[in-house]
Amino acid sequence: MGTTQLKLSDLARLAGVSTSTASRALNDNPLIKKETRERIQALAKEHHFSVNAAASRLRMQKTKVIAVIINLEAETKQSVDDPFLLKVVSDINRAVNRKGYELLLSNSYMAGEDWHGYFISGRRADGVIVVGQGKEQARIERAARAGTPIVVWGDPKTSANYPIVGSDNFIGGLSATEHLIAKGASKLLFLGDPGHAELGERYRGFCHAVEKAKVEAQMIKIDITSEAAYASINALLRAQGLTFDGIFACSDMVALGALKALKERYISVPNDVRIVGFDDIAMAQISFPALSTIKQDTNAAAQLLVEKLLSQLSGETCASQEVPSSLVVRQSS
């Protein structure tokens, strides 16, 4: 506090060696005699010395930082508070740390339009992980073309000039719907917005199952929030009565909103209506009835995202990849 910041040259003087020796010693460079290294490292610990990251980054041309940017549409109101998105971020954080990198949490507000300029040229991060493919991929594509090491959490089937990691949304949608049908549903309802890349795949899976089983089906396009789901189910029931007996919701939050609307009208879940969600957020198992859902393995995905990003940093190119998802059957179906 009172004393001025210790720098490497001070530490070196204290140890009676040159600055370069001190630097190498702290980086465990075998050029330096083992005893010397250990002596200097001990001294550093004793004096609470920390390398100045700004100086180091300037010299090294590397930041050891990965930026995570949450890519939400301004228009739709899927908020940053969506527990699933935040879980993804949290898992990415762990994965990033395990590789010795730090996590800069960013968003369109800070990064603006020119992600390459802001993060890479600006030496704020070595690479970018985008959470949420969104409807509009221009900025991602521009960044990738400018040479930004970048990976995206989204729908891996989308063809793009950057790798995308995400669940097999088609299979997820397919197996959720098949499960609903197997449980006796014959008038199905899809709740979500197929214009969104990942949700579009889930909807494709839904349609595929519907056609194969030759059952009735309808789709209501809503924002990805529980409020929108609650409102739309209420409106539908009011206008047309109970015209469905199975719901595939594009996310758990949506499913829970629908569930609430049904329960308020004493429509029994799963007897009158079966529901399956998507994501398997913490709330899914604590709702009543507990929510059947397609579990996304965010942990595995986060690890893959980071690995792919790091391999880009070392010059390799890599492809999109799907992470297996699995049906979790609970009481709602």
Partner DNA sequence: GATCTTAATGCAAACGTTTGCAATGATGTT
Partner DNA sequence: AACATCATTGCAAACGTTTGCATTAAGATC
* Contacting positions for DNA (CB under 7 A): 5, 7-9, 16-21, 23-24, 26-27, 31-33, 36, 51-52, 55-56, 58-61
Nearer to a second copy, 33 or 98 (CB): 98
The Cα–Cα gap between 60 and 64 comes to 10
Q: Which stretch binds a second copy (CB under 8 A): 133-141, 151-159, 281-289, 310-318?
A: 281-289
| 53 makes contact with a second copy (CB under 8 A) | yes
146 to 205, contacts with a second copy by CB under 8 A? Answer: 146-147
| 240 makes contact with a second copy (CB under 8 A) | no
Nearer to a second copy, 177 or 303 (CB): 303
Residue in 74, 138, 239, 286 binding a second copy, rule: CB under 8 A: 286
Residue 26 binds which of a second copy, DNA, none (CB < 5-8 A, kind-dependent):
DNA
Q: Which stretch binds a second copy (CB under 8 A): 22-30, 53-61, 240-248, 305-313?
A: 53-61
Residue in 9, 18, 29, 97 binding a second copy, rule: CB under 8 A: 97
Six-digit token pair at 172?
A: 């997820």
Give the three-state DSSP class for 75: coil
Q: What is the largest CA-CA distance in the chain?
A: 85
Strand 292-296's sheet: what is its strand order?
A: 216-221, 187-192, 246-249, 274-279, 292-296, 325-328
- Smallest distance, Å, CB 210 to a second copy? 27
The Cα–Cα gap between 132 and 298 comes to 13
User: 116-138: string of b/e by CB count within 10 Å (b at 16+)?
Assistant: bebbbeeebbbbbbbbbbbeebe
The Cα–Cα gap between 300 and 296 comes to 9
**Identity (one letter) of the amino acid at 61?**
Q
- Smallest distance, Å, CB 2 to DNA? 16
Residue 19 binds which of a second copy, DNA, none (CB < 5-8 A, kind-dependent):
DNA
Would you tell me how many other CB atoms lie within 10 Å of the CB of residue 289?
15
Would you tell me how many other CB atoms lie within 10 Å of the CB of residue 166?
27
- Smallest distance, Å, CB 84 to a second copy? 10
Residue 141 binds which of a second copy, DNA, none (CB < 5-8 A, kind-dependent):
none
The Cα–Cα gap between 296 and 150 comes to 22
Residue 329 binds which of a second copy, DNA, none (CB < 5-8 A, kind-dependent):
none
Q: Phi/psi of residue 107, each to 5°?
A: -165, 175
Would you tell me how many other CB atoms lie within 10 Å of the CB of residue 242?
13
| 230 makes contact with a second copy (CB under 8 A) | yes
Nearer to DNA, 49 or 162 (CB): 49
Residue identified by tokens 């970018």 is 128
Q: Check if the beta carbon of residue 270 is closer than 8 Å to that of residue 289.
A: yes
Nearer to a second copy, 58 or 242 (CB): 58
- Smallest distance, Å, CB 303 to a second copy? 15
**All residues at 6 or more sequence positions from 310 whose CB lies less than 8 Å from its CB, including other chains:** 99, 127
User: What is the distance of C-alpha 226 from the center of its chain?
Assistant: 19
Nearer to a second copy, 92 or 217 (CB): 92
Please give the residue ranges that form the binding site for a second copy (CB under 8 A). 1, 5-6, 48-55, 57-58, 63, 65, 68, 80-81, 83, 86-87, 89-90, 93, 97, 102-107, 109-110, 114, 116-118, 121-124, 146-147, 226, 230, 253, 256-257, 259-260, 263-264, 282-283, 286-288, 290
